[in-house]
Amino acid sequence: MYTVTDGERALESALIAQIELLELLAERERELQNHLLGRNWQMLEQVIQEMNGLARRIQEADQVRGELFVQLQHRMGLAEQSGMAEVVARLDDESSARLRALFRKLKVSVMRIQSLTGGIDAYVASTTATMRAFLNESFPERRGTIYGRDGSADVHSGHAVVIDRHL
């Protein structure tokens, strides 16, 4: 049995830091959802910028956590393909329980974000489909026509155009 070392403590710290960042991202997702529902486009843009910064920090934290995990595997004489279960099986009960709890909390944080993102995606898809159906019924002669930035019909435009940001 291995005892708690600096490597395990570093991995625990990296997990805690990543979980905190994911929880911040979940908060921003809720804000994004509220601004989207309230059609507050300026605040929505601000939250998106904050989320982009958080995403970069989460990627960095994930990379650090991954490197620390691989280092721990090597110190234990395990292959890189070995999973979390094999690593914690070689630790004492207290360390093993702490790491399992942190990994569970990490998974729950990720699932929370996936759920929030899924809800936002469903809302946007539903709203877009409703608007498209309304516009097709209201202006059947324009059905299938794509307009360029200057307002003229552009059959080959591949970019989305925002007509009115304050609908």
pLDDT in tens, 58-90: 999 999 999 999 988 888 888 888 888 888 888
Q: What's the number of CA atoms in the CB half-sphere (13 Å) around residue 102? A: 22
pLDDT tens-place values along the chain, 167 residues long: 444 588 889 999 999 999 999 999 999 999 999 999 999 999 999 999 999 999 999 999 999 999 999 988 888 888 888 888 888 888 888 888 999 999 999 999 999 999 999 999 999 999 988 988 888 788 777 666 666 777 777 655 455 555 555 55
Tell me, what's the pLDDT at 155?
59
Tell me, what's the pLDDT at 13?
95
How much is the pTM? 0.76
Provide the 8-state DSSP code for 3: -
Tell me, what's the pLDDT at 162?
54
10 Å CB burial of residue 91 (0-12, 13-18, 19+) is buried
